[in-house]
Amino acid sequence: MASVITVNLPQQSYKIAIAPGSLERLGEYMAELKLGKKVLLVSNPTIFQHYGEKAIATLQAAGFEVAHHIIPPGEPYKNLDSIQKIYDAALTNRLERSSTMVALGGGVIGDMTGFASATWLRGINFVQVPTSLLAMVDAAIGGKTGVNHPQGKNLIGAFHQPSLVLIDPDVLQTLPVRELRAGMAEVIKYGVIWDAELFAQMEKSKNFSQLRYIKAELMDFILTCSCQAKADVVSKDEKEAGLRAILNYGHTIGHAVESLTGYTQFIHGEAVAIGMVAAGQIAMHLGMWGQKDAQRQDELIKKAGLPTKLPADLDVNAIIDALQNDKKVKDGKVRFILPTQIGAVEITDRVPTDTVRQVLTTMGTS
């Protein structure tokens, strides 16, 4: 089954195409966009080993001249040095204003390739071919691109929308199960903030606790609903003037947990899962959310094999302090996204610190 979702934007609308086996037709999809002949494919060693040859072959068959550039894996390489190396490859291969950079990989590759394409020659075309669940449902869509500064994640960046996002669910077969779970945290997020039906379908699924064996139809539904949720929100608020902040559900406390554990104990989706449990508890304490819905959320997070508790050695006061350093703090006030029912959230900066402390102290440790 194939689905196509449109991200409607004033400057440049684009399609998210979701279809099993579509990686083999990347060249055809790109040829339809009438892009220039030159393509720089950016990937990491593992993904390139699995899918690089296939991607290059389809692009060449469609008449593109393809060069490739490989970046070592992981967050430590998400920096300006790696961008400089992409620029070097763009120069060596004489990329022009009409040329395209293709990101074949997870969120790190997508964010970096996006940033390099936003800035090379003041902006060239960019296509996202996400290979992790998290990148498929979140990082590849929305136009936020960037790299880390030694003092913080994603501090350097630009908005630069892709011309196409091509999702081939078949590539998830080579994704480690921990990464699959982490991506599922963002999917559960869409269920809570936007799409009650998506949430209910995941709850109903018998395979959901065995993500590797999830049925193809359910995965297709999950991908389609999640991408539609992200597309809807980004189409309404491209540059995060308001609504788009709801996508940060679970991320306020999640980011603090991630950074205080040195980005080594949890991968992003795992920290977001803990953050969602905490946000749910805060909403309950404030009388915004019922206990039944909070339990449904926490059960689904557990069913996906994700953590729901804080690490025992994490100091609650350190988390409270870290919240103040969040990029999203405005006028010294921490902004929380809190659920009001499954499928709806509110943005508020009026959460008493004592409530946050009480929740963090009582939510349990692992």
Question: Which residues is 126 bridged to in the sheet?
Answer: 101
CB 8 to ligand GLY: min, Å = 15
Cβ atoms of 130 and 51 within 8 Å: the answer is no
Contacts of 283 (CB under 8 A, 6+ apart): 289, 294, 338, 339, 340
- Residue tagged active-site, from 160, 181, 251, 296: 251
Give catalytic status of residue 8 as yes or no: no
- Residue tagged active-site, from 38, 78, 268, 296: 268
CB 104 to ligand GLY: min, Å = 16
CB 118 to ligand GLY: min, Å = 11
- Compare residues 52 and 142 and give the one whose CB is closer to ligand GLY: 142
- Residue tagged active-site, from 15, 38, 69, 230: 230
- Compare residues 143 and 269 and give the one whose CB is closer to ligand GLY: 143
Give catalytic status of residue 122 as yes or no: yes
167 binds ligand GLY (CB under 6 A): no
Write the interaction track for ligand GLY spanning residues 121-150; mark x where CB under 6 A is met and - where it is not: ------------------x--xxx------
CB 22 to ligand GLY: min, Å = 20
Token pair in block for residue 79: 């920096």
Write the interaction track for ligand GLY spanning residues 305-344; mark x where CB under 6 A is met and - where it is not: ----------------------------------------
- Compare residues 143 and 254 and give the one whose CB is closer to ligand GLY: 143
The continuous run of DSSP H or E covering 65 comes out as strand 65-70
Write the interaction track for ligand GLY spanning residues 177-216; mark x where CB under 6 A is met and - where it is not: ----------------------------------------
Cβ atoms of 4 and 17 within 8 Å: the answer is yes
List helix spans (H) across 129-215: 133-134, 177-193, 196-204
- Residue tagged active-site, from 25, 75, 240, 357: 240
How far from chain centre, in Å, is Cα 141?
Answer: 8
Give catalytic status of residue 240 as yes or no: yes
Residue nearest to ligand GLY (CB): 142
Report the interhelical angle of 268-285 vs 353-362 (nearest 10°): 120
Give catalytic status of residue 125 as yes or no: no
- Compare residues 179 and 293 and give the one whose CB is closer to ligand GLY: 179
Token pair in block for residue 257: 């947990």
Give catalytic status of residue 186 as yes or no: yes
- Residue tagged active-site, from 148, 248, 285, 296: 248
Give catalytic status of residue 248 as yes or no: yes
The continuous run of DSSP H or E covering 38 comes out as strand 38-43
Alpha-carbon distance of 92 to 239, in angstroms, equals 33
Give catalytic status of residue 251 as yes or no: yes
Cβ atoms of 251 and 275 within 8 Å: the answer is yes
- Residue tagged active-site, from 186, 238, 258, 270: 186
CB 143 to ligand GLY: min, Å = 5
CB 255 to ligand GLY: min, Å = 14
The angle formed by the CA atoms of residues 111, 117 and 118, to the nearest 5 degrees, is: 85
Contacts of 212 (CB under 8 A, 6+ apart): 177, 180
Q: How many residues does the chain have?
A: 366
CB 92 to ligand GLY: min, Å = 27
Cβ atoms of 189 and 137 within 8 Å: the answer is no
- Compare residues 130 and 307 and give the one whose CB is closer to ligand GLY: 130
Token pair in block for residue 319: 């988390």
Give catalytic status of residue 50 as yes or no: no
Q: How many residues bind ligand GLY (CB under 6 A)?
A: 4
Residue from 252, 270, 280, 188 nearest 226 by CA: 188
Give Cα separations from 130 to 38, 65, 106, 263 (angstroms). 20, 21, 5, 22
Give the interface with ligand GLY as residue ranges (CB under 6 A).
Answer: 139, 142-144
Residues classed as catalytic: 122, 144, 186, 230, 240, 244, 248, 251, 255, 268
